[in-house]
Each structure stands twice: as structure tokens, then as C-alpha cells.
Amino acid sequence: MMLVKQKRRSLSNPRLWLVLMLLLIVGRACIFRPATNYPGACFNQGVNAAWLGVKWVNGPHDSEEIATLADALTKRQIRYVFVYASYLKPGGQFNPTYSYAGQFIQTLKATEPDLNVQAWIGLPLEHVNLGDSTMRGQIAEFCASLVREEGFDGIHLDPEPISSNDSNVLVLLDEVRDALGPEFTLSIATRRIWPIFPSVQWPIVGRVAWYANYYREVASRVDQVAVMTYDSAMPLAALYRHWSRFQVIEISQAVNGSDVDLFFGVPTSEEKTWTHWPTAENMTSGLQGIVDGLNDAVAHPSAVTGVAIYPYWETDEAEWAVYQRLWLGLEVTTSP
């Protein structure tokens, strides 16, 4: 996941990455076998999430429109919403794109008070130096002001790209946690885990994927982890289904025993890049892979809270029908 209006990044050697990942996926597909064959509804706890666009807090919306959104979220069993609020610009200032946040949150909660609304904050690490204590302090202070002045229930940080074992990110999480206090939710969008022996510190691998121990370090500092399972570069739906399966297996193992809420991202974006093929990475293959992973003998389904839809604003009725069928276990009906 990138910033709302920012192009997706590419790895330095896309062909090498694609060949390597294809070999890993095909190889691992022959190793693990599912222990059960339960449908998604058996794992769904009715606690899911979604990334919402900046339009909800950047401009006015009438009460009926916001109430319709709240009703749709609840019917889709989405309790946590990450609303894009701002990002840190190269000049060191946060983009002021949340002028109507307070009004939006108040109206949304008047309809569905159980919704948890978090401010999604973009931190492009290409120009954000988290090694600078002044910069980290500025970020923490901004996060605290959003929850106290605008009424957000918490902060959803999206620092990208994070290499595995980046200690500056861990320090930032500690400082934001201190600034927010225990009453507000702190969540983070996280990278892929390395799907082959993720506890081993492979050379170079940490630049493109996380090791299991780093996942545990991050999870211990936040309330929620939302995995950006997409942008895998898988060109076929069957391969992406396997990819999602392995992410569920390894990440659920990594954070098992912690108190963190764990959500796995499900892509519905129509943007085509070399890392995201919409015909491969989509609602169907994503959910199928997550369910496959939860059914695997070595996964820890109890560690998984739910799924997170990205992006909500591009998800159409046909995709919601798939979500209802594969994850909620409901008959397909017309959504608001």
C-alpha cells in the first residue's frame, strides 16, 4: 500500500525478485498441506477492517451519506476503519487534508458508535529520517493532536518502505505509544514476511521482507498489525493464493501468543503495476489464500483477528458479494 496519490514503488531488480518468488511459491506449495477444510465463515470473528480514502475527512459530506457508509461498514462486519488523513511531506510538514475529520467522525459514530476510526498517516521513508529524534517527536506530537483535537480513536501508521530490523521504527512506535497514552489505538501497516524459514537472518532478504523476530518486535509495540499482503508481483491468481496462504502461516506463527490484533490485507485495487496484477491479486484469490492459510496444520488461526480490505473506495458490489460468500458466509444480497 502506498500513499493515496503516490505511485507504487518498485524493487531495484524486479525480474530477479519475480523469479525468486515464483520459485519459492512453487516449492512451498509442495511442502505444506491443509489439516482442515473449514470455510472462511468459521474463522471470521465479525471483526474486520478497511482502508478508507481521504475524501471523507478532506471535504464536507451530508449526514445521510456518512450514515449510509456507517451502515454498510457494519453490515460488512468491518469494525476498524483506517481513514487516510495526512502524510509527511519532504519539507517536514504534514499535509493538511483532514479539515472535516471531526465532523465525519461525530456523524459516523452517531449512526454506529462501535466503529473504531483511526487516522491513517503516511510516512514516506525516502525522505523521512526516523533516526532524527526531532522528526520522531514531531510525528508523535502530530499523532497525539489528531486523536485529542479531531476525535480519532487512534493512529494507523504507514511508514514505507521498512527494512527488517529497522530499530528507528521501533523507537518511533514507542514514542507514539507514549504520546497517545493507553486509551487510544495504535496500529501499523506492515510488510510481507519472508516465507522460507523466516527466523533465519538471510543476507539481503531483510530489504524486501521481514524476519519473524522483527514481526514480534513490532507486534509487541502496537495494538494492531495490518499486513499489506498484496504487491507480491505474482502474475497468476493461483500463485497469489499460495502467497497469501504462506503469509498467514508464517505471520500467525510469528505473533502467536501476543495480544496484538492481526489483520491480513485483501486487495481490490484496479491499478496495474509490475508488483500488482489485478487479475492475480484480488478479492477472490486473496480471501481464498487467507482461508487456505488458516486451515493449514502449522498456522495459528487464534492469532488472526480478521481481514482488511484495500482500498474500500475501489471495491465494487461484485467484490463485496465475493467477500460475503467467502468470508462472512452470507447469501449474496445487494449492499447499500
DSSP assignment of 210-247, as one string? B-HHHHHHHHTT-SEEEE--------SHHHHHHHHHHH
Among 212, 171, 174, which residue's Cα sits nearest to residue 191?
212
pLDDT of residue 198: 76
Among 81, 184, 72, 89, which residue's Cα sits nearest to residue 135?
89
Given a cut of 80, whether residue 28 has pLDDT beyond it is no
pLDDT of residue 46: 98
- Over residues 197-206, mean pLDDT: 76
Q: Which residues contact 121 (CB under 8 A, 6 or more apart)?
A: 85, 86, 87, 88, 94, 139, 142, 143, 146, 155, 156, 157, 158
Q: Which CATH class is domain 41-328?
A: alpha beta
Domain boundaries of the chain, sorted by first residue: 41-328
- Over residues 76-94, mean pLDDT: 96
- Over residues 91-104, mean pLDDT: 96
pLDDT digits (tens, 9 = 90+) for 135-192: 999 999 999 999 999 999 999 999 999 999 999 999 999 999 999 999 999 999 999 9
Cell numbers standing for residue 177? 505509544
Among 248, 252, 250, which residue's Cα sits nearest to residue 260?
252
Least confident of 31-40, 138-147, 239-248: 31-40
Report pTM.
Answer: 0.92
Name the average pLDDT for the chain: 91
- Grade residue 206 by pLDDT with cuts at 50, 70 and 90: confident
pLDDT of residue 107: 98
Q: Phi first, then psi: give them for residue 84, nearest 5 degrees.
A: -60, 120
- Over residues 201-209, mean pLDDT: 80
- Over residues 281-310, mean pLDDT: 97
Given a cut of 70, whether residue 16 has pLDDT beyond it is no
DSSP state of 89: -
In the numeric block, the cell 487534508 is attached to: 97
Least confident of 15-19, 38-42, 90-94, 295-299: 15-19
pLDDT of residue 33: 66
pLDDT of residue 201: 81
Q: Phi first, then psi: give them for residue 186, nearest 5 degrees.
A: -120, 120
Structural contact between residues 248 and 298, judged by C-beta atoms closer than 8 angstroms: no
